[in-house]
Amino acid sequence: MRLLSILTLISSLAILQACSPQQPASTETATTDTADANTTQNENPEPGFVELVEQAHAKANFREHAAVQFDLQLFFGGSERLNGTLTLSTDSRQALIATKDGNKIYVQDDKIFLSPETENKASARFGAYTWSYFFLLPFKLNDGGTIWTDYPDKSMNGKDYLTHKLSFEAGTGDAPDDWYVLYADEGNQLLQVAAYIVTAGQSQEEAEEDPHAIEYLNYQTVDGIPFATEWKFWGWRTEEGLTDQLGNANLTNFKLLDNTDGVFTPPADFVEG
C-alpha cells in the first residue's frame, strides 16, 4: 500500500521484515469499509468500521495540522533498536526520522534520502516507512487501494472487539498481498491491535505461517487527538490471538506542528536511497 509509514538501527533486515507494513501512498482516495470494495461511502449512510475508528481518532482534527512530532524508543529482544524523533506530515507524504546518534532519514512520497555514509541503503529504505506507518495507521484507513471486509472472529484473548480485515488491490504498493486484521475497542472505537503478515521476499502462504501483531496501549490525548504512548509487538495466531511478545516501544513528547517550512528538505549532500 503506498502509505507513509525506519531504520538503519535495526540489526538485520529480518527484524525489519517482522514489523514492516506496506509502502505509503502519496494521495488519499475514499474507499469502502464493506465487503464490496466498489461501494462508496456515500452509498453507506451508517458509520462502518473505518468511519468509527477514524472518528474516534479525531482524523479530521489531525489533518488540520501540517505534521505531528514525537520521540520513539523501540526495543526488540531486550535490545534498543531505535531511539529518535519522528516528524510526520499528517497527509503521510513526508517524514523526517532523526536518531539520537545524529543520523537522519528524509521521506518524500516514495523516495527516501540518506546520508552518503549510509552503508545498508536497502535496509534503510525497508525500515523507513515502518514505524511511521504503524503510528499513522488509524488515520490511513481510507487510502487508495484498500479493501475492507468483515472479520467474523470478534474475540481475542478473552475480550470482544470491533473487527475488520484490510487487504489491498492488485498493484497497490510494494506488497499488495499483505493483509491486516484490525481490532478496535467496542466502547471508544480506538484501535487496540493490528495483526498483519509481511510478504516481502515470500509468498502469501509462507507469510501466513508467521503473522505478527502490534498492540496500541495507554492512549494520551493531545489537542483532542488520542495517541498511543506504548506499543507492544506480538506473535499472532487466528485461534490463539496474541502469543509471544517480540518487542515494545515508548512514544513521548507529542507535538502538533502547523508550520513545516524546510523540515522535510534533505541536505544537498544526501542521496536517494
pTM to 2 decimal places: 0.83
Give the pLDDT confidence of 228-268 residue by residue, as tens digits.
Answer: 999 999 999 999 999 999 999 999 999 999 999 999 999 99
pLDDT confidence tier of residue 32, bands split at 50, 70 and 90: very low
Q: Tell me: the pLDDT tens digits for 56-111?
A: 999 999 999 999 999 999 998 889 988 999 999 999 999 999 989 888 999 999 89
pLDDT value of position 46: 55
Range of the domain at 176: 13-272
Question: Is residue 175, in this structure, part of any structural domain at all?
Answer: yes
Residue 4 in any domain: the answer is: no
Q: Give the chain's mean pLDDT.
A: 83
pLDDT value at residue 102: 86
Provide the pLDDT for residue 176. Answer: 66
Has residue 80 been placed in a domain? yes
In a domain, residue 215? The reply is: yes
Listed in sequence order, the residues at least 6 apart from 146 whose beta carbon sits closer than 8 Å to its beta carbon are 1, 31, 37, 166, 167, 168, 169, 172
Q: Which of 29-33, 173-177, 240-244, 268-272 has the lowest mean pLDDT?
A: 29-33
Q: Which tens digit of pLDDT belongs to each residue from 46-55? A: 579 999 999 9
Per-residue pLDDT for 44 more than 90?
no
Q: Tell whether 37 is covered by a domain.
A: yes
Indicate if the pLDDT at residue 119 is higher than 90: no
Can you tell me the distance from the alpha carbon of 133 to that of 127, in angstroms, rounded to the nearest whole number? Answer: 10
Which amino acid is located at 109 in the chain? D
Residue 1 included in any domain = no
Q: Examine residue 2 and state whether it is found in any structural domain, yes or no.
A: no
pLDDT of 37 reads 41
User: For 27, what's the count of Cα atoms within 13 Å in the CB-facing half-sphere?
Assistant: 2
- The total domain count for the chain is 1
Domain-embedded: residue 138: yes
Name the range with the highest mean pLDDT among 30-39, 116-125, 203-212, 228-237.
228-237
Count Cβ atoms within 10 A of the Cβ of residue 117 and give its class: 0-12 exposed, 13-18 middle, 19 or more buried: exposed
CATH number of the domain encompassing residue 109: 2.50.20.10
